[in-house]
């Protein structure tokens, strides 16, 4: 893997339930899990149109170094945009990277 391609800083967050100290009621809050460098790419050409027709949403892929604890349902922050992680695809051959398939939360 060429580390020069990992040039975009992203933040991976997970939802945690905490208790409000005043009211003692549970509150769901997004908490930062990892900050890492990523390669970002979006489907182009035929793949883009197939994804757009099938899902009617924008799919973005984040290629990052292998991390433990990243699961579907988490979210990625990149340039004040939120993306929901739909699928985590680890690289089984080299075990150094993983690809996160995400959709933009509007």
What are the residue ranges spanned by the domains of the chain? 3-104
pLDDT value of position 48: 57
Q: Which CATH number fits domain 3-104: 2.60.40.10, 3.40.718.10, 3.40.50.620, 2.40.10.270?
A: 2.40.10.270
Residues 6+ apart with CB under 8 A from 30: 13, 14, 15, 16, 75
* pTM, two decimal places: 0.81
How many other β-carbons are positioned within 10 Å of the β-carbon of residue 47? 11
8 Å CB contact between 14 and 33: yes
The sign of the torsion formed by the CA atoms of 81, 31, 96, 47 equals: negative
8 Å CB contact between 100 and 73: no
- When pLDDT is cut at 50, 70 and 90, the band that residue 20 belongs to is confident
pLDDT value of position 47: 55
β partners of residue 97:
65
Question: Which of residues 31 and 52 earns the better pLDDT score?
Answer: 31
Least confident of 1-10, 18-27, 40-49, 61-70: 40-49
The string of DSSP letters for 58-100 reads -EEEEEEE--TT--TT-EEEETTEEEEEEEEEE-TTT-SEEEE
């Amino acid at each position: 893997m060429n580390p020069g391609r990992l040039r975009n800083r992203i933040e991976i967050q997970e939802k945690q339930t905490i208790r409000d100290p005043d009211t003692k009621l549970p509150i769901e809050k997004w908490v930062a899990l990892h900050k890492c460098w990523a390669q970002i790419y979006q489907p182009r050409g035929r793949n883009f149109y197939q994804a757009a027709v099938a899902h009617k949403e924008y799919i973005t892929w984040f290629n990052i170094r292998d991390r433990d604890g990243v699961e579907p349902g988490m979210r990625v922050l990149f340039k004040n945009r939120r993306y929901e992680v739909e699928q985590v695809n680890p690289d089984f051959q080299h075990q150094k990277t993983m690809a996160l398939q995400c959709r933009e939360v509007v």
